[in-house]
Amino acid sequence: MFHKEGYKIIFITLVIVMGSILLIDTYIELPWLRLLLMIGMVILLILILQFFRNPKRHTQLEDHTAVSPVDGKVVVIEEVFEKEVFQEKRIQVSVFMSPINVHVTRYPITGKVSYSKYHPGKYLVAWHPKASEENERTTVVVDNKNFGKVLYRQIAGALAKRIVNYAKVDDEAIQGADSGFIKFGSRVDLFLPLDADIKVQLNQKVRGGETVIAEKL
C-alpha cells in the first residue's frame, strides 16, 4: 500500500525506468554495462516505492497516551520554551526520520485541531538546533481532554522539499490517523505538558501510530 502523495512520483518514476531500460537494451552493447544500468534503474524504482509506502498501523485509541506521530529515532527529550503558541515551557520530544523510514505523519492524540499553520523557511539539516524555528515547517495543536493542548511540528530537512499537512482548525483528530506527509526526510517535534510521563528514551526507535511517547492520567 502506498501513500496518495506518492502516486504521481511513482508513476513518473515508473515511466522513466521503463523508458530507460528500453533505451539501455537498445543502445548499450556491452552486456555487463547493460545489466548494471538496468539493475540501477530497478533499484531506483524500489527506493521510490519503499519511501512512499503506507503500512497499516494498529493504534490503541487511548486519551491518556500520546503516540509517536512518525517512524524514526528519538533525538531530543528536553524541557524548552515553546514560543509560537504556548509561550511557556514544555517537554519537547523530537523524532528524526531517515530516508528509509515511513514518512506518513499521524495524529499523536485524539481531540480537536485548534491551530494549524504553515511556515516557509530554510532547509537546514533536520538535526540542526535552529531547524525547529528556521526551516520550512507546519505547526498543529490538538486539544485532548487528558493532555490539554498538544503541539506537533513537521520540519523539513536538507532533502525534504515539501511538507503536506491535512490538519485544519476544528477538524476532529483521531489518534494514529493520517495527518500529513513529509517528502524525503526530516523530523517531527512533539511538545507535551511538563507533567506528562515520558515513556521513551534518547536514540530509541519508534513507530508512528503505535509507540507510546507519553502518558498523562
pLDDT computed for residue 40 by the predictor: 95
**Full DSSP string of 123-162:** ---TTSTTHHHHBSEEEEEEEETTTEEEEEEEEE-SS--E
Active-site residue, 186 included: yes
**Do 77 and 28 lie in a common domain?**
no
The pTM of the full predicted model, rounded to 2 decimals, is 0.86
**Do 21 and 125 lie in a common domain?**
no
Distance from first CA to last CA of the chain, Å, rounded?
35
Instruction: Count up the domains in the chain and report the number.
Output: 2
DSSP-based three-state secondary structure for 58: coil
**Do 14 and 98 lie in a common domain?**
no
Residue 164 resides in a domain: yes
Residue 57 resides in a domain: no
Task: Give the Å distances, CA to CA, from 36 to 15, 24, 156.
Answer: 19, 10, 34
**Do 23 and 74 lie in a common domain?**
no
Q: DSSP alpha helices (H): ranges in 52-201? A: 131-134
Assigned C-alpha cell, 23: 533505451
pLDDT computed for residue 185 by the predictor: 60
Query: CATH no. for residue 116?
Result: 2.70.70
**Do 71 and 46 lie in a common domain?**
no
pLDDT computed for residue 199 by the predictor: 97
Q: Tell which residue, 52, 68, 112, has the closest CA to residue 205.
A: 68
**Do 172 and 147 lie in a common domain?**
yes
**Do 80 and 13 lie in a common domain?**
no
List average pLDDT for each run of 10 residues in the chain, which is 217 residues long. 88 95 93 94 91 89 95 95 95 91 94 94 61 78 96 79 88 96 82 96 96 94
**Domain that includes residue 206, residue range:** 65-215
**Do 32 and 108 lie in a common domain?**
no
